[in-house]
Structure 1
Amino acid sequence: MKTHQIEIQKFKAAANNLHGQVVFKVDALVSNREPIDGIEPSSLLVMTEQNARVLMALLKTQIAEFDSKKPKSRHGRHG
């Protein structure tokens, strides 16, 4: 498995596709990352706090879009 460090520079857009996936359009710096011996090789996704907040807002919007397309339950909450 190849491992990378992916540094998000800017989130440009987000959308849901027909396969139930969320797709992000981003500007990013991608560099190879050598796995450290004895540690499971992983890629890293790195972003600033500001970009993390943008990601959270985009995710909330996309999840709401998924939820709006699901059939509504006919069972109300009991309370």
Structure 2
Amino acid sequence: MKTHQIEIQKFKAASNNLAGQIQFKVDALVSNRTPIDGIEPSSMLVMTEQNARVLMALLKAQIAEFDSKKPKSRHGRHG
């Protein structure tokens, strides 16, 4: 498995697809990352606090969109 460091510069857009996935359009710097001896190789995603806040807002919006497309459950509601 190749490992990378992915540094988010800017989130540009988010959308849902028919496979139930959230897709993000981003500007990012991607570089190879050499695994440290004795540690399982992993890729690293790095972002500023500001970009983390943008990510959180985009995720909330996309999850709300998923939820709006699901049938409403009538169980447990009394009215």
With the shorter chain as reference, the TM-score category is over 0.9
Superposed CA deviations along residues 39-79 of structure 1, whole A, max 9, x for unmatched, are: 00000000000000000000000000000000100113469
> Which segments of 5 or more consecutive residues in structure 1 lack a partner in the other structure?
none
SS of 1:39's equivalent?
Answer: coil
Q: TM-score, normalised by structure 1?
A: 0.95
Separation (CA, whole Å) in 2 of partners of 1:58 and 1:36:
33
**Inter-partner Cα distance in structure 2 for 1:62 and 1:40:** 31
TM-score (norm: length of structure 2): 0.95
Partner residue in 2 for 1:20: 20
Question: How has the CA–CA distance of structure 1 residues 78 and 40 changed in structure 2, closer, same or farther, with 3 Å as cutoff?
Answer: farther
Kindly indicate whether residue 3 of structure 2 is the aligned counterpart of residue 3 of structure 1: yes
Compute the RMSD of aligned alpha carbons: 1.5
Which residue number in structure 2 is paired with residue 78 of structure 1?
A: 78
Q: Which moved more, 1:22-31 or 1:68-77?
A: 68-77
Shift of 1:21: 0.2
Residues of 2 paired with 1:32 and 1:45: CA distance?
Answer: 12
> How far apart, CA to CA, are the structure 2 residues paired with 1:6 and 1:28?
6
